[in-house]
Amino acid sequence: MRIEALHIRNMRQMKDLSLRFSEGESDNDLHIILAENGVGKTNIVNAITWCLYNKEMHLRDEETALPLLNNQIIEDLRKSGGGNAEVMAELTISTDKSNGRITFKRVGIFNVTSEACILLSDKLSISKMGTGGFRLIEDEEETAQIIHKYLPEEINNYIFFDGEQLEHFFSQNQLENVRSGINELTQASYLKKSYEFLDLYIRNVLNPKIANLGSKEIAEQQKKVDGLADQIELAKNTISELDAQIKTCDDEISRLTITIRGCENLREKTEELERVEKDLEDLRSKEIVKTQELIKFTREYYSYLGLYPSMKAYRDFIKEKDENGSLPPRIDKEILSKILSSRHCSICDSENLNDHSLQYVKELEKTLAVASATSAELNRSLGSLNSLVTIIQGYKSKKEKLVGELFEIRNDIKNKDERYQQLQKYLRSVPNNEEITNALNQKDQFNSEKVRLIGKKAVENNNKANLERSHQEENKKLQTLISKQKELEEIERQKEFCEECSKIMKSCKEEILDECRNKIQDRTFEIFDRLIWKKEAFSKVEILDNYTFKLLDAYGTQALGSCSAAETALLALSFTLALQEVSKHDSLLFIDTPIGRIGVENRTNFMETLLEISKNKQVILTFTPTEYDSNVQRILSKNYNSFHSLTMNNNITNVKQ
């Protein structure tokens, strides 16, 4: 399928714009629209989606967007007191090579007053030209069916892109694209709708019939079975809610992983910085305390050492006197007097000393006549001086110990400070480091939440399995009861048929999805691998059961998050092409500003890829003149079939002739 022509009238800046996208001489079904920003490139896509689905799907902000009706017409009508005007978008597509053509035409009638511009009505009509001739279809149901057949709204995201959409195709909540794409394009969603309808029919029509027509016992058993079925349904819903929550966690974890890529150690580094800061603070306090200790030591020992020469001279003098016997023995004269008067020796504790002994004491007293207060003073000092000299001799070792401890602290400070500077340098080099720290914390929270949800899901699965067992048993009992009542046979047969149909459809849906998912994943990689300019960098694409999309590098590691914008866009394109191919829904590709977000170095590669795609599929691209630079021109010129350069005169978009 391809777009042949587009005609837009009175819509925004396009008063009367016609674009034809015919197949021409070039092998590439490539069409280019060139326009400055604001001239209307995106509004061309909006005109197509409005024509088909009555929605502008590429508006940046619906609330603040201009009215659909051209502003000049609104003003003219207001000047003439108001009136009606129509907006028209007409899209012609060809459906196959046998020139089957369909034209979709939507006309909206607007009423313009001095205060408002209100849509009165809009109508879609379809003209179908085929082998059977021309046919105009206006019936709402039939037009909806035709649109659904050729350009279903559900898959418009896989036909009409903008550059930004491609870049973010696999990020954040966009994994939903993969899930809905596979479900819609494989038409598995129809099977789902069908079996859900059958299940509803059994529950709301057949089961009540059985209960009403059967015996009281059957009614009660049916109630029991229905009750269990309700509980199973509830458990299924809970499980599916849990799945959704787990998926949200996965999406968030993927998003946060992209944010923190390369900065995984940021939090550890931030925590280390805090620790180092605290250590430095402690060490600096220790340094102050140790310095004070050393100052006190200095003051104390300086006092000792300052006096040391005097003390040494004094001590030497006393020692010399002592050695020469110039100092009396250390016996107090008063003690000797006491011994003589009491005849009791207080030194050896002998009583009644004889005269001989007393005579000896008297002689001793005479010898000590020279003993004086001076000798006592000198004797007393010697002991203290000796003790102090011992203390002074300890100066060297004590000082070395204190200085060593202080140096050790200073060395620790130096090392910690170096580490602190390194960490500071690293953290300053990380842009938005607060954002990344938050992302790391959030990622932890989502990981724990995911673990909690998985646990809860396991419990719920177990509960569901028990309920299903009970349901099966109770259902068997019900069947036995029903089989005894002949009038219920027909209803029971209908029920069995419906149940069987539902079961087959469910398993078909699963099979289709599995098969398509596998085909799409393989085909996506084949296309991607063929188109990618970095050969052998990637090894496989995987789409998991929960639609998680993986692009594995040469070593089998998920590499999606580290792809460049161009690679991500190419992967999204490859997925879209695979999806269209596997689902046999052969659509065109309309990409609005495909290289707007792609780095200059990859633009050439990406353009060559799109050129390659256009050999088998219609590709319509829009560019700004800046994007359509000499490199892009070199690749695309002579390879397109139509080139529309749009300009703007008096706020009206025209095709440059």
291 scored as a contact of other proteins (CB under 8 A): yes
Angle between helices 489-531 and 433-483 (to 10 degrees): 150
332 scored as a contact of other proteins (CB under 8 A): no
Cα separation of the two ends of the chain: 28
The one segment of 177-185, 378-386, 538-546, 551-559 that binds other proteins by CB under 8 A = 378-386
Identify each DSSP E strand in 362-448 by its residue range: none
Taking the complex as a whole, the smallest distance from the CB of residue 307 to other proteins amounts, in Å, to: 5
193 scored as a contact of other proteins (CB under 8 A): no
Residue 557 neighbours by CB distance under 10 Å = 11
Which residues make beta-bridge pairs with 6? 19, 91
399 scored as a contact of other proteins (CB under 8 A): yes
Q: Note every long-range contact of 96-105, with CB atoms under 8 Å and residues 24 or more positions apart, other chains counting.
A: 96/1, 98/130, 98/131, 99/129, 100/128, 100/129, 100/130, 100/131, 101/4, 101/128, 101/129, 101/130, 102/126, 102/127, 102/128, 102/129, 102/146, 102/150, 103/127, 103/129, 104/51, 104/52, 104/147, 105/51
Taking the complex as a whole, the smallest distance from the CB of residue 338 to other proteins amounts, in Å, to: 23
385 scored as a contact of other proteins (CB under 8 A): yes
The first and second tokens of residue 638, run together, are 């002579």
359 scored as a contact of other proteins (CB under 8 A): no
386 scored as a contact of other proteins (CB under 8 A): no
372 scored as a contact of other proteins (CB under 8 A): yes
Q: Could you tell me where the DSSP H helices lie in 484-593?
A: 489-531, 565-582
Identify which of residues 314 and 533 has a Cβ nearer to other proteins in the complex: 314
Identify which of residues 4 and 322 has a Cβ nearer to other proteins in the complex: 322
Taking the complex as a whole, the smallest distance from the CB of residue 301 to other proteins amounts, in Å, to: 6
Site string for other proteins, 295-324 (x = CB under 8 A): xx-xxxxxxxxxxxxxxxxxx-x-------
Q: Could you tell me where the DSSP H helices lie in 202-265?
A: 207-213, 216-260
Taking the complex as a whole, the smallest distance from the CB of residue 330 to other proteins amounts, in Å, to: 16
* Residue the block writes with tokens 């090894």: 539
Angle between helices 175-185 and 489-531 (to 10 degrees): 120
Nearest to 592 by CA among 20, 163, 153, 34: 163
290 scored as a contact of other proteins (CB under 8 A): no
Question: What three-state secondary structure class fits 120?
Answer: strand
Taking the complex as a whole, the smallest distance from the CB of residue 442 to other proteins amounts, in Å, to: 49
Taking the complex as a whole, the smallest distance from the CB of residue 402 to other proteins amounts, in Å, to: 10
Identify which of residues 243 and 320 has a Cβ nearer to other proteins in the complex: 320
Taking the complex as a whole, the smallest distance from the CB of residue 298 to other proteins amounts, in Å, to: 5
Identify which of residues 294 and 430 has a Cβ nearer to other proteins in the complex: 294
367 scored as a contact of other proteins (CB under 8 A): no
109 scored as a contact of other proteins (CB under 8 A): no
- Give whole-number Cα distances, 518 to 171, 514, 524, in Å: 21, 6, 10
Taking the complex as a whole, the smallest distance from the CB of residue 266 to other proteins amounts, in Å, to: 39
Neighbouring residues of 558: CB distance < 8 A, sequence distance ≥ 6: 550, 551, 552
294 scored as a contact of other proteins (CB under 8 A): yes
Identify which of residues 190 and 317 has a Cβ nearer to other proteins in the complex: 317
d(CA 244, CA 250): 10
* Residue the block writes with tokens 């995106």: 42
Neighbouring residues of 209: CB distance < 8 A, sequence distance ≥ 6: 491
Taking the complex as a whole, the smallest distance from the CB of residue 365 to other proteins amounts, in Å, to: 20
411 scored as a contact of other proteins (CB under 8 A): no
Taking the complex as a whole, the smallest distance from the CB of residue 363 to other proteins amounts, in Å, to: 25
546 scored as a contact of other proteins (CB under 8 A): no
The one segment of 140-148, 355-363, 395-403, 446-454 that binds other proteins by CB under 8 A = 395-403
Taking the complex as a whole, the smallest distance from the CB of residue 293 to other proteins amounts, in Å, to: 10
Nearest to 457 by CA among 254, 248, 244: 244
Taking the complex as a whole, the smallest distance from the CB of residue 295 to other proteins amounts, in Å, to: 5
Identify which of residues 119 and 288 has a Cβ nearer to other proteins in the complex: 288
d(CA 238, CA 555): 38
Cβ–Cβ under 8 Å, residues 543 and 178: yes
381 scored as a contact of other proteins (CB under 8 A): yes
The one segment of 9-17, 240-248, 338-346, 393-401 that binds other proteins by CB under 8 A = 393-401
Identify which of residues 190 and 302 has a Cβ nearer to other proteins in the complex: 302
The first and second tokens of residue 60, run together, are 């940046």
Which residues make beta-bridge pairs with 94? 2, 101
369 scored as a contact of other proteins (CB under 8 A): no
- Give whole-number Cα distances, 119 to 123, 215, 487, 588, 635, in Å: 11, 60, 58, 31, 44
- By CB atoms closer than 10 A (0-12, 13-18, 19+), residue 182 is buried
373 scored as a contact of other proteins (CB under 8 A): yes
Taking the complex as a whole, the smallest distance from the CB of residue 308 to other proteins amounts, in Å, to: 6
The one segment of 240-248, 366-374, 531-539, 595-603 that binds other proteins by CB under 8 A = 366-374
The one segment of 66-74, 76-84, 286-294, 463-471 that binds other proteins by CB under 8 A = 286-294
Cβ–Cβ under 8 Å, residues 88 and 105: yes
370 scored as a contact of other proteins (CB under 8 A): no
DSSP state of 70: -
Total residues at interface with other proteins (CB under 8 A): 41
Question: What three-state secondary structure class fits 422?
Answer: helix
Cβ–Cβ under 8 Å, residues 36 and 129: no
408 scored as a contact of other proteins (CB under 8 A): no
395 scored as a contact of other proteins (CB under 8 A): yes
Identify which of residues 66 and 295 has a Cβ nearer to other proteins in the complex: 295
Taking the complex as a whole, the smallest distance from the CB of residue 261 to other proteins amounts, in Å, to: 49
Taking the complex as a whole, the smallest distance from the CB of residue 379 to other proteins amounts, in Å, to: 11
Please give the residue ranges that form the binding site for other proteins (CB under 8 A): 291-292, 294-296, 298-315, 317, 372-374, 377-378, 380-381, 384-385, 388-389, 392-393, 395-396, 399, 403
